[in-house]
Amino acid sequence: MPGMNSGVNVSDPTVVAAFRSTLLHQGLIALLIFVVLGLAWLGLRELLPAAVRSAARGPVAMSAEPSWRVVLRVGFGILWIFDGILQAQPKMAVGLPSQVIEPIAATSPHWVQGLVNWAGTAWSYHPLQAGAAAVWIQLGLGIWLLTAARGPLSRLAGVVSVGWGLVVWGFGESFGGIFAPGFTWLFGAPGAVLLYAIAGGLIALPESAWRSRSLRDLLLPGVGVFLIGMAVLQAWPGRGFWQGTTNGKPGTLAGMTTSMAPTPQPHLLSSWITAFTGFDEAHGFAVNLFVVVALALIGVVFLSGRPRLIRPALIAFVVLCLADWVLIEDFGFFGGLGTDPNSMIPFILFATAGYLALISLPEPAEERAEVAATAPAGPAGWRKRLRAMLEPASLASARVSSVAALGAVGVIVLGAVPMAAAQASPVADTILAQAVDGSDAPLNFAASAFRLTDQNGQQVTLASLHGKVVLLTFLDPVCTSDCPLIAQEFKQAGQLLKGDARRVELVAIVANPVDYQLAYTQAFDRQEGLDGVRNWLYLTGSLPNLQRVWREYGIAADIEPAGAMIGHTEVTFAIDQQGRVRYEMNFDPGPGTAATESSFAAELSDTVQQLLGQS
Amino acid sequence: MTRRVPVTLSCAAVAAAFLVAGCGSTSAHEGVRSDGGVPAAPMDTSFGNATSTWATVLMGGSAAQHNNFWQLFIRPAGTSTWKLVTPPGTADNGGLVLAAGAGPAAISAFRPSQDLTFTPLIQTSDGGQAWSALSPLEAPLASTPAALAVGPAGSLHVLALTTSSTAEQASLTAGKWTTLASARTLAATPAGRQCGLRALTATGYLPSGAPLLAGECSHSGVAGIFADQDGSWQAAGPALPPSLASQDLTVLRLVTVGNQTVALLQAGKGQAASLLVAWSAAAAGHWTISPPLALHGATVTSASFGPTGAVAAITADGAAAEIVSSAGPWHRLPALPPGTATLALNGSASDALAVHRSTLTVWQLATGGQAWTRAQEINVPIEYGSSS
C-alpha cells in the first residue's frame, strides 16, 4: 500500500522528539482547559446566589443509572483512556500506518486496502498531528464517558464514541478483518473497536430506553447469537483451524501464536504462548473442538434467559476470554505497536452488562413516567436542553463531574482541530524532511558567480537571476534514484508557491563529469516533466567550467568504478534576491516516498516564502 | 416509441459486421505481440573481432537488482589476460549492451533502471581506456544483447531496438535519433507479411552498412531477417532446409564479424527446439546454415561470437556447445566451471567467464581439450548500495 509508509524510521529521534514536544504542549493546553473551566465554574458559583443555582438545576427526578450501563460506560471509558495512553508511544507517530494498519489490512480485499491506504496516507503525511489527535481524542473520550454519568452530555459521549469507534474500526482495523479470510473470534473478530462503538451506541440511548424490558432482554441474547455464529465459523472446514499442522507447517491458530511468541514481551508470557502453540500443533483438532463447543454452549445458555444457568456460563465465558486474551491475543498490545488490549476485555464487559441487565429489577411505573416527563423529546428537546445547559445559572449549578466532562470535550477538540487543519494542507509536514536530513543551516554570504547554458541552449549567469529567490541544486541527469526525486521535489515546490513562483528560479546544475551534454539535460527534463516548467533551469557547460562551479559550491562529483553511478553531493542552496546564500540544506531525498517527497517540497516552499517575506 | 427492426435487416447487419471485422483484422496468432514489446533475452554475452574480445556479465550476487552491476571486460587479441573496462557515468544495474565494430571502437548502452527511463550511450575508440558520452536514446533499450548494433567501419551509425519494438538509428556525428521501423510497420510490409512477424528481436548491419532487423515469425519455415534496401524493407533471411519447413523460427542474435553476418536462430519450441547458426558472407541472401543443436527443452542463457564466425552457446541446463563453421558439427564442451556466465572464443582456445559475487574467474580450454584450467581472477570493486 503506497501511502502507508513514509519511509522514515519509526524510532527516528527527530520525529520522536517532536511528537513528545507536541504532546507536552497540547498536554499543557489540556490542563489549562480544565483549570479555566474549573475557575469559571467556581467563579459562577460565587457570583450566582444559591437560590438561582438550585432553580436552574430544576426538578431532580432521576433514578440511579442502571448497573449494566455503568459497566459499559466506565469499562469502555477506562479502555478509551488506556488506548489513548498506548497511542502516546514514541514510535506511534511514524509507525502506526506501516506497522499497525498495513499488516492488518494486508489480507483484506483491495477495496478495503484502498480505503485504509487513504487514511494511512493522511496519517503518514502528518504524523505529529495525527498521532497527537489519536491520543487526545481517546483520552478525552475516556474522561468524558467516566465523568458524564447522566443527561445529554453522557449520551453525547456515547454518540462521539460511536463515531470515533467506527473511524478506528474502519481505517485502523480494516473493519476488524471481517472481509479477510481467517476471520475468527479467537483473533479478535469482529474488531475490538466495533465493540467500543456498539457500547457507545447503547450509552447514547435515552433514559427511557435504559429501562425498557426489551433492551435489557436483548443484550445478553445478542451476545449469545454472536457467539453461536462464531462457533459455526470456527467449525467451518477448510479454514485451517482443525489442523494443528498442515504439511509440516503450523495450522491457522498455531501459525498466529507462533508469530506472537517472539515479539518483545516478558519471558513468562512468551513461554506460555510457545507452550500453547506446541499443544495446539499436537492437538489441533481437540483445541478447535473445545473452542467450538464452548462458544456454542455459552451462546445457547446466554440465549436461554435463565439467570441460574447463565451465571456459571458467564464465569466460563470470562475464563475463556481471559485464556484467549493471554495465550492467543497476547494481551493485544505486547509486541510491535499495540493500540488497544484487543477484543476479549470488551467481550467480558458486554457479557457482564448483559447479565446485569437481565437480572436487574424492573423500575416502578411512576418513576419511569417521571423520567419520561422531565425529558423533552426529539431534536428540539436536545437543542432546548443544550441551550439550558449553557446558561450561566446552569453552569454554576453543574456538578464537578459535568465540568470535567466539558473539559474532556475540550481535550477532544484540542486533538481534532490541528489534525483537521493539517488535512487541509496538500503537502506533508516538514518534520519528515527534517527527520531525513536535519534542519536547514542559516548562512549569509555572496553566492559564487557562474555562466552556464540552460536546457534551451541559452546562457545563464547568477547575476541574471538577481531579484529572484534562487533554489540551487546539483543533479546528475542519468541518476537512477535520488536526482529524479529531487527534481520532483523542486517541481512540487514550484507548484506550492503558486503566484510567488514567478519570483523564484528553480535551478539545477549538472553533477556528472561524463554525461553533461545538453542532450542529457534535455532528456532529463523530458523524463521528469520539467520541460514545460517556466522557472526551471537545468544548467550545464564545458567540463572545466562545471568543475570550477562544483569546486566553488563544495560539490563532489566523482566517477565511481564498476558500473556505479556518479557519487555527488546532494545539497540545495537558497539564494536570496541579492544573490546571497541564506540557507544550505542537505538534500538527500531519503526513502523517496510520496510523503517525504512532499515534505521536502514543503520545506523548499517554506524557505522561499521566508526569503520573499524578508525582501 | 421504439421501432421494430426487421429480422432480415438485423441478420444482414450482423453478417456485415463480421465481414468487416474479418477484413480489417489479423488473427491473434499472426499479429504482432499484443504487448508490442521485444521479448527479453539473457544479457551475458561475448563478442570477438580481430583486435579484441569483449564480454559483459552480471556481477554482485545480490537478491536486490539494484545491487547487481553489469561489468564489461576486454581481452586484447593475442593476449590471455582480461581487463575490467566497465564504462563510467551511469549506473548499469539495468543492463549493459555492447556493440563493437571491427576495431577497438565500441559503443555501450546503459539499459535504464529504477527511475531512469531513457538510455545513455557511451563510446570508446581505444578498447575501453577512455569513454565519451553519445546522445542518449530517449526510450528504454530492449532487454537483449541484440538490441544495439554499430555500423561497419566508416558508416558512423548506431541502431537501437527499444522495448516498444521500435528501431531507432542515429548518426554518431549528429547524435539525432530517427525511427527506422517498428514491429508493426515492418509486419505490414510484404516481407513482414511473408514472415508473419510477431516481434522484433535483434538489430544488425550488413557489411555494406545497410541496417538489418530480425524477429520472430509466426509462419513456419521463415527466418525473419529484413534488410533496409534504399528505404524499403526486404526479406534477407536464409532459405531453410525442408527439415525445418514446419518449424517456427526466432532470430536470437545478429552479429557482423569482419565481412560476414552471423545469425543465431532458434527453431521450434519446447522439447523440440533446436539452435541454428547462419552465416552470410559479404551480402545478404547467400547463407550457409549449421546443423541443428537440440536444446532438449532448455533455453539459451548466453551466446558468444568469435572473431572468425565461431559461435558458442550455454543453455539453462548448464550444457555448452560450440560450432566453428557450417562445414563442421556442434562440439559439446566439457562440463562448465561453476558460475560460468558466458564463454569467449578465439581461434585456439575458449574461455569460460565464471562469476561469484564480485569475483570473475577466467577458465581456459585448449582446442580439443577436456578440462578447464583456471587462468585468471579479477576482483571487481562493486559499490553495493550505490544505486539505492
A526, containing H or E segment: helix A518-528
| pLDDT tens digits, A300-346 | 999 998 889 999 999 999 999 999 999 888 887 776 678 899 999 99
B257, containing H or E segment: strand B249-257
Report, as an integer, the average pLDDT of B311-334: 92
Query: Are A567 and B69 an interchain contact pair (Cβ–Cβ within 8 Å)?
Result: no
CA distance B241 to chain A (A): 44
| Three-class secondary structure assignment of A54-85 | HHHHCCCCCCCCCHHHHHHHHHHHHHHHHHHH
Domain boundaries, chain A: 14-211+385-425, 213-362, 431-614
- Give whole-number Cα distances, A65 to A74, A195, A399, in Å: 12, 21, 16
Query: Are A562 and B382 an interchain contact pair (Cβ–Cβ within 8 Å)?
Result: yes
- Which residues does chain B have within 8 Å of residue A515's beta carbon, measured at their own beta carbons? 89-90, 120, 122, 133, 136
| pLDDT tens digits, B59-82 | 998 888 888 999 999 999 889 899
Q: What percent of chain B is modeled with pLDDT above 90? A: 66
Residues making up chain A, counted from first to last = 615
**What domains lie within chain B, and their CATH numbers?**
34-379 (2.130.10.10)
Q: How confident is the model at residue B42 (pLDDT cuts 50, 70, 90)?
A: confident
Query: Are B116 and A519 an interchain contact pair (Cβ–Cβ within 8 Å)?
Result: no
Query: Are A564 and B386 an interchain contact pair (Cβ–Cβ within 8 Å)?
Result: yes
User: Which of A515, A526, A560 has the highest number of chain B CBs within 10 A, making it the mutation to test binding with B?
Assistant: A515
Determine the residue of chain A that is closest to B114 in CA distance: A480
B220 is written with which cell numbers?
Answer: 513456419
Whether B123 and chain A come into contact, CB under 8 Å, resolves to no
Q: Measured between alpha carbons, how far is A130 from A114 in angstroms, rounded to an integer? A: 19
Half-sphere exposure of A507 (CA within 13 A, CB side): 25
Tell me the average pLDDT of chain A. Answer: 89
User: Is domain A431-614 given the CATH code 3.40.30.10 in the classification?
Assistant: yes
Whether B95 and chain A come into contact, CB under 8 Å, resolves to no
Residue A257 burial (10 A CB sphere; 0-12, 13-18, 19+): buried
CA distance A206 to chain B (A): 56
Residues of chain A with pLDDT under 70: 1-4, 50-63, 335-336, 361-382, 385-386, 389-390, 615
CA distance B130 to chain A (A): 11
Positive or negative: CA dihedral B311, B314, B315, B317: positive
Write the DSSP symbol of residue B89. S
Query: Are A485 and B90 an interchain contact pair (Cβ–Cβ within 8 Å)?
Result: no
Determine the residue of chain B that is closest to A558 in CA distance: B89
CA distance A515 to chain B (A): 6
Half-sphere exposure of A569 (CA within 13 A, CB side): 17
CA distance A518 to chain B (A): 9
Query: Are A516 and B69 an interchain contact pair (Cβ–Cβ within 8 Å)?
Result: no
Determine the residue of chain A that is closest to B84 in CA distance: A562
Q: Measured between alpha carbons, how far is B87 from B359 in angstroms, rounded to an integer? A: 18
- Which residues does chain B have within 8 Å of residue A597's beta carbon, measured at their own beta carbons? none
B296 is written with which cell numbers?
Answer: 532438449
CA distance B70 to chain A (A): 6
Tell me the average pLDDT of chain B. Answer: 87
A493, containing H or E segment: helix A482-497
Query: Are B116 and A479 an interchain contact pair (Cβ–Cβ within 8 Å)?
Result: yes
Give the A-side interface with B, CB within 8 Å.
478-481, 484-485, 512-517, 519-520, 523, 526-527, 559-567
Reduced to 3 states (helix: H, G, I; strand: E, B; else coil), residue B331 is: strand
Which amino acid, residue B247? Answer: Q
User: Which of A475, A524, A565 has the highest number of chain B CBs within 10 A, making it the mutation to test binding with B?
Assistant: A565
- Which residues does chain B have within 8 Å of residue A530's beta carbon, measured at their own beta carbons? none
- Which residues does chain B have within 8 Å of residue A568's beta carbon, measured at their own beta carbons? none
> Phi and psi for A208 in degrees, rounded to 5?
-60, -35
| pLDDT tens digits, B253-309 | 999 887 889 999 999 988 989 999 999 986 556 899 999 999 999 999 999 999 989
Give me the residue from A484, A514, A519 closest to B89, CB to CB: A514
Write the DSSP symbol of residue B162. B
Q: How confident is the model at residue B19 (pLDDT cuts 50, 70, 90)?
A: very low
Q: Measured between alpha carbons, how far is B306 from A430 in angstroms, rounded to an integer? A: 58
pLDDT of B10 reads 42
pLDDT of B334 reads 95
Do B92 and B138 form a contact (C-beta atoms < 8 A)? no
| pLDDT tens digits, A351-393 | 999 999 988 766 555 455 444 444 555 555 667 766 776 677 7
Query: Are B91 and A526 an interchain contact pair (Cβ–Cβ within 8 Å)?
Result: no
> For residue B129, what are the β-bridge partners?
none
Reduced to 3 states (helix: H, G, I; strand: E, B; else coil), residue A607 is: helix
- Give whole-number Cα distances, B330 to A510, B278, B306, B333, in Å: 52, 13, 14, 9
Whether B120 and chain A come into contact, CB under 8 Å, resolves to yes
Give me the residue from B88, B120, B133 closest to A559, CB to CB: B88
pLDDT of A363 reads 58
Max CA-CA distance within chain B? 90
